[in-house]
Amino acid sequence: MNPDLQQVLQRYWGYKTFRPLQHEAMDAILARRDSLVVLPTGGGKSLCFQAPALVRPGLGLVVSPLISLMKDQVDTLVGNGVPAACYNSALSADEKTAVSAGLREGRYRLLYVSPERLVGEGGDGFLARLSPANVTFIAVDEAHCISQWGHDFRPEYRQLGALRAQFPQVSLHGYTATATARVRRDIAAQLGLRDPLELVGSFDRPNLVYRVLPRTSLKRQLQEILGRHRGQAGIIYCTSRREVDALAAWLAETGVRARPYHAGLPDADRHRNQDAFLNEQADVVVATVAFGMGIDRSDVRFVVHAGAPQSLEHYQQESGRAGRDGLEAECVLLCSAADFVKWRVMLERNGEWSEARRQLLRDIERYAAGVGCRHAHLVGYFGERFTREDCGACDYCLGELETVDEPVVVARKILSCVARVGQRFGAAHVANVLCGSEAEAVLVRRHHELSTFGLLKDASVAEVRGYIEQLLAEGLLRQTDDEYPVLALTEDGVALLRDEGHRAGLALARQRRPPKGTKERGPRRSRVEAESWQDVDRELFDRLRALRLDLARARGVPPYVIFHDTTLREMARLKPGSLEALRAVYGVGARKAEDVGEAFLAAIRESAAG
């Protein structure tokens, strides 16, 4: 272990240990070796380039895609006592002059800039300002944006390929939270990395609880999820702007502090809503995927997808915005087969449909309909082997799902019903027939006289819809691309119906039914949640959160810039009585202890006094 790095980590951030691969990533910067680092959201990748800047002389240049992200990171660094600044179009002329003077005088160890400012047009001679600043390394954050194979490709990032020629003696480093092997190769090629050290962390986020539910009554389902997270921070992703506006308005009417966010809103409204969320003036953001990159709020306790995203890469990135502080968080995917049809139609209309896109959609569809551990499925997709038998943090491993006896028999009943209604009706109608519903649409077509009517009368319509989704993912059924999609049998489905395809590996699952005569219980707590609250004084934790909010508002910074929830829970567990004891708490650096330590110690003493 590099003693200088350890000292910096403890002094400025209050951390006593490194997270996986952090030390190796920092050593690459100190050794002037190019690197490509892939660490999941919450894995501490920013620290990989921030800490070495305080050990190695000179200036570390950080390329970041969003002004809001730069500002938050610089505020946090300055609060920790790190000499850092950003240079972007949001600064006033006087602020730009001040930063330029600081560069000339060598006052900064880290400078955050946008790709356009560094190598694009309108750089207003910025490179000339850097020449006396002794740039010793360049860190490209969100490096997947440079790859057209990445899920968030940004053309302006392509210009960063010019950095190698402009800074031939400076080491280059790419950082991202998610990248398949193909994307990693493309990043290295586009940045011109020379023999880079490639570090790929685990994609598993054991603190996240993954659940997948068929979308039935969206508002009721959201109320159940929000009921588990009253007053906590969350993000609800929707696939259309119209749905974002409608859900945000409905939530606000029900008393939830919710704000909308999408590209169709005026810039001022978008920034206002984002700032309200970051500053804890709003608890929930209802958003399209336009919201997310650069959201540094670490205490997001839930992320809900009100429809399936385009790919598992998107899902991993978006759901990964929950629980960045390492504490428990819930990720719920509410989806239906119609989502995948919508994506296909939209991509075809935009001329973006391809075999690669089709495969990405199939991958997320398989995840949504899969029967098995969600954590194992996700990390397996990214090429990682999952070694635990039971994650203890998904609907399957928590026992919220149960497998169906004789799944092939159930599948044949459903396939037969699709055939009996002439392959001319959608999933809702087929489920009604199988459940024995006497809905008008069933009776008027005399489908109550079919042999398949009521074959699954012991199941709910939602349960049967879930089976249909799983058969679609298994390739036994398909859905047409019409405005009102209908179900049809595939060749494999016909073979199974004729008893020509055995499908020994077929498995179907449903939400666990409560035993007869018992009330349905809510979801179980994950192991991580139970452990993270152990011995924590909840009343004191709430008091410390309120103090943090007051301090943050007085200083005009987001609350997480003061302390993360992880640190506050540790305080509420250990109840330190002195500054020395406070400095031993995870996440309390020397500067923070000196700056706000007495205020938190006073709150702890008041709590103890009753």
* Cβ–Cβ under 8 Å, residues 220 and 405: no
Cα R_g (the chain), whole angstroms: 27
Flag the least confident range among 1-15, 215-229, 290-304: 290-304
Residues 159, 109, 98, CA angle at the centre, nearest 5°? 85
Enter the pTM of the model. Answer: 0.81
Topology (CATH level 3) of domain 3-200: Rossmann fold (3.40.50)
Q: What is the pLDDT of residue 603?
A: 96
pLDDT at 499 over 90: no
Q: What is the pLDDT of residue 433?
A: 97
What is the per-residue burial (b if ≥16 Cβ within 10 Å, else e) of 359-398?
ebbebbbbbbbbbbbbbbbbbebbeeebeeeebbbbbbbb
What percentage of the chain reaches a pLDDT higher than 90?
56
pLDDT in tens, 514-547: 766 656 666 777 888 888 899 999 999 999 999 9
Structure tokens at 339: 């989502």
Structure tokens at 327: 């504490």
The span from the CA of 114 to the CA of 87, in Å, is 8
CATH 1.10.150.80 location in the chain: 533-609
Interval 463-472 mean pLDDT: 89
For residue 349, CA distances in Å to 152, 336, 344, 346, 483 come to 20, 21, 8, 5, 14
Higher pLDDT, residue 415 or 166: 415
Q: How confident is the model at residue 571 (pLDDT cuts 50, 70, 90)?
A: very high
pLDDT at 573 over 70: yes
SS3 content of the chain, % helix, strand, coil (to 5): 45, 15, 40
CATH 1.10.10.10 location in the chain: 403-511
CATH 3.40.50.300 location in the chain: 3-200, 208-394
Structure tokens at 542: 């709430």
pLDDT in tens, 97-111: 999 899 989 999 999
pLDDT in tens, 252-296: 999 999 999 998 999 899 889 988 998 999 999 999 876 665 567
For residue 190, CA distances in Å to 40, 161, 183, 578, 605 come to 22, 6, 10, 51, 55
Q: What is the pLDDT of residue 538?
A: 94
Q: Considering only the top CATH level, what class is 533-609?
A: mainly alpha
- In CATH terms, the superfamily for domain 208-394 is P-loop containing nucleotide triphosphate hydrolases (3.40.50.300)
pLDDT at 121 over 60: no
Interval 351-379 mean pLDDT: 87
Q: What is the pLDDT of residue 132?
A: 72
Q: What is the pLDDT of residue 122?
A: 47
Residues 43, 49, 50, 55: is their CA dihedral positive or negative? positive
Number of DSSP helices (H) and strands (E) in the chain, helices first = 26, 17
Q: Which of 525, 518, 300, 492 is nearest to 393 (CA)?
A: 525
What percentage of the chain reaches a pLDDT higher than 70?
95
pLDDT at 395 over 50: yes
Find how far residue 399's CA is from the centre of its chain. 24
Q: Considering only the top CATH level, what class is 403-511?
A: mainly alpha
pLDDT at 549 over 80: yes
